[in-house]
Amino acid sequence: MTAHSSPRAATASRWFRPGRMLAWVLLVVSATAAILPLYWMATGSLKRQSDAMKTPPEWFPQEPTLANYKKLFGGEEGQAWSGRRPALRWLVNSLLVASTIAISAVLTSALAGYALGKLRFRGRALVFWLVVATMMLPRQVSLIPLYLLVVKFDWMDSYPGMIAPYLCFPFGIFLVRQFMMQLPDELLAAARIDGAGPWRVFWHIVLPMSRPALGAVAIFSFMGAWNEYLWQLIVTNRPEMYTLPVGVSKLVSTLTAFDLGLAMAGATVAFVPMLAVFVLFQRYFVQGVSVGALKG
Amino acid sequence: MSSVASSAMKSPQRISGWLFLLPAGIPFAAFVVWPLVHGVALSFFDVQLRGTEFIGWENYRRLLDDETFWSAVKNTCKFVLLVVPIVWGLSLGISALVYPMGRFARAFFRFAFYVPVVAGGVCLAMVWMWIFNGQYGLLNYLTGELLGVEADWLGRTDTALPSLAAVVVTWSLGQPIIIFLAALGGIPPELHEAARIDGAGAIRRFWHVTLPLLRPASLFVLVTQTIGVFQVFVVILLLTVNGGPANATRTVVYGMYETAFTPMYDFDYAAAQGSLLLVALGTIAVVQFRLLGRQTTMD
Name every residue whose Cβ is closer than 8 Å to that of residue B119 and which is 6 or more positions away in sequence: A38, A227, A271, A274, A275, B171
pLDDT exceeds cutoff 50 at A202: yes
Interchain CB distance below 8 Å, A144 and B223: no
Report pLDDT digits (tens) over B23-43.
Answer: 999 999 999 999 999 999 999
pLDDT exceeds cutoff 50 at A2: no
pLDDT exceeds cutoff 60 at B9: no
For residue B139, the model assigns a pLDDT of 92
Give the closest-approach CA distance of B65 to chain A in angstroms: 21
Q: What is the complex's ipTM, to 2 decimals? A: 0.88
Classify A195 in phi/psi space as left (phi over 0), alpha (psi -120 to 50) or beta. left
pLDDT exceeds cutoff 60 at A115: yes
Amino acid at B179: I
pLDDT exceeds cutoff 60 at A276: yes
What is the pTM (predicted TM-score) of this model?
A: 0.89
Closest alpha carbon within chain B to A116: B17
Distance CA B97, CA A28 (A): 11
Interchain CB distance below 8 Å, B122 and A249: yes
Report pLDDT digits (tens) over B200-221.
Answer: 887 888 888 888 889 888 988 9
Interchain CB distance below 8 Å, B31 and A146: yes
Closest alpha carbon within chain A to B18: A115
Give the closest-approach CA distance of A241 to chain B in angstroms: 17
Distance CA B46, CA B59 (A): 8
Whether B44 contacts chain A with CB within 8 A = no
Interchain CB distance below 8 Å, A53 and B270: no
If pLDDT is split at 50, 70 and 90, which confidence band does A292 have?
low
For residue A295, the model assigns a pLDDT of 46
Average pLDDT score, chain B: 87
Count of A-B CB contacts under 8 Å? 302
The predicted model gives B131-160 an average pLDDT of 90
Task: Give the number of other CB atoms < 10 A from CB of residue B22.
Answer: 13
**Domains recognised in chain B with CATH numbers:** 62-293 (1.10.3720.10)
Q: Which of A168-172, A199-203, B13-17, B176-180 has the lowest mean pLDDT?
A: B13-17
Chain B, 196-225: which have a CB under 8 Å from a chain A CB? 203, 216-217, 220-221, 223
Could you tell me which residue, B204 or A253, shows the higher pLDDT?
B204
The predicted model gives B78-98 an average pLDDT of 94
For residue A265, the model assigns a pLDDT of 94
Whether B105 contacts chain A with CB within 8 A = no
Interchain CB distance below 8 Å, B170 and A34: yes
**Domains recognised in chain A with CATH numbers:** 2-74 (no CATH), 86-295 (1.10.3720.10)
Interchain CB distance below 8 Å, B20 and A119: yes
pLDDT exceeds cutoff 90 at A254: no
pLDDT exceeds cutoff 80 at B171: yes
Q: Which of A178-192, B8-22, B115-129, B140-154 has the lowest mean pLDDT?
A: B8-22
Whether B25 contacts chain A with CB within 8 A = yes
Among A140, A178, A200, A229, which would you mutate to test the B interface (most chain B Cβ atoms within 10 Å of its Cβ)?
A140
pLDDT exceeds cutoff 60 at A139: yes
What one-character DSSP code corresponds to residue A69?
A: H
Distance CA B142, CA B153 (A): 13
Alpha helices in chain A (DSSP H): 2-15, 18-44, 49-52, 67-74, 86-118, 124-136, 143-152, 159-163, 170-181, 185-193, 198-201, 207-209, 211-227, 230-235, 244-253, 260-280, 282-295
Distance CA A119, CA A295 (A): 19
Give the closest-approach CA distance of B267 to chain A in angstroms: 7
Interchain CB distance below 8 Å, A34 and B116: yes
Distance CA A49, CA A46 (A): 10
Report pLDDT digits (tens) over A7-39.
Answer: 444 454 555 567 778 888 889 999 999 999 999
Closest alpha carbon within chain B to A33: B170
Nearest to A112 among B20, B170, B274 (CB): B20
Report pLDDT digits (tens) over B262-296.
Answer: 887 889 999 999 999 999 988 887 887 777 655 44
If pLDDT is split at 50, 70 and 90, which confidence band does A85 have?
low
If pLDDT is split at 50, 70 and 90, which confidence band does A93 have?
very high
Q: Which of A88-92, A173-177, A183-187 has the lowest mean pLDDT?
A: A183-187
Average pLDDT score, chain A: 85
Name every residue whose Cβ is closer than 8 Å to that of residue A103 and which is 6 or more positions away in sequence: none
